[in-house]
Amino acid sequence: MDNLTAELKNILGGSRVRLGEPMSLHTSMRVGGEADYYLRPQDEEALMDTLHLLAERQLPCYIIGGGTNIVARDGGIRGAVVEIGKGMGGITVDTERRSISAGAGASLSALAKQAAESGLSGLEPLSGIPGTVGGALFMNAGAYGGDMSQVAIQARVYDRAAHTIKTVNVYEMRLGYRSSIFQARGEYVILSVMFGLKRKDTDSIKSKMRKFARRRNSKQPMDVPSAGSFFKRPPGAFAGALIEEAGLKGLSCGGAKVSEKHAGFIVNTGGASAADILSLMEQVQKAVRENSGLELEPEPRIIGDDV
């Protein structure tokens, strides 16, 4: 066993250090080659110690949550992938202050459910978005007119450069459409997020969540692997509509396909490679550009190496 592997196992425990781990097991698209190291810290201290060690060894590092907004290339990932998961997913409710705090690894759906049970409203539009709280803040995830910028108050972050924990308020986060300071400042790693909500009747909150769930299930391909809406919304337009207008519904490349249910989704119909997905993405971008003059930008992070 090499020294780095031994040190990582000392920090994380043997079962939380995996070598040559297929990223297809950890992304909602179900594609991706092997990561040299796949690491799963059990708490904040282990996360910070791990990141500090990787920085000392100058090993490239990718941080992921639920893997729901990622396309990992087929050649895999040189360096380490660090998963912020359930070990950092605690949720604390303060009904008096109408706030709720969640670890970066908490699922967004679990957070919304806990808020509803506590009679706190504001997270309903986000309740059906897959993935983690940290990933949602990183992307400023949103749906049905709501996004993280409307409910997040502050976040605790680990500053890798300074090797310290900081608190960042919502104004400092620079939350825009699918953008945040965390994308621009890679040294900031989200540890937890505090949300400011409103008091409301639990039944009415749950009713609204069910309404959004029905809407999502009726219009989106929930039964096949995807990364959610694959393209960002261009100014003054909708990606799905532009793709449909270009006659691309059902277009396929290998096992990847433009969903016939919602053209804004690229889905894995079974056995797709990352190369299939990215080739289809480029075909869609080219056709939409030629048809409308507008440029589509992918929403998922595309990481790793080609074969």
Catalytic sites, residue numbers: 178, 229, 299
> Is the torsion defined by CA of 291, 297, 300, 302 positive or negative?
positive
Distance, CA of 188 to CA of 161 (rounded, Å)? 8
Q: Which of 151, 109, 100, 144 lies closest to 128, judged by CA?
A: 109
Amino acid identity, position 187: E
The position carrying tokens 């994308």 is: 183
Strands, E assignment, the chain: 17-22, 34-39, 61-64, 70-72, 77-83, 91-94, 99-103, 120-121, 142-143, 146-147, 152-159, 164-169, 188-196, 198-199, 226-229, 252-253, 256-258, 265-268, 301-303
Distance, CA of 192 to CA of 68 (rounded, Å)? 19
Strands, E assignment, 160-280: 164-169, 188-196, 198-199, 226-229, 252-253, 256-258, 265-268
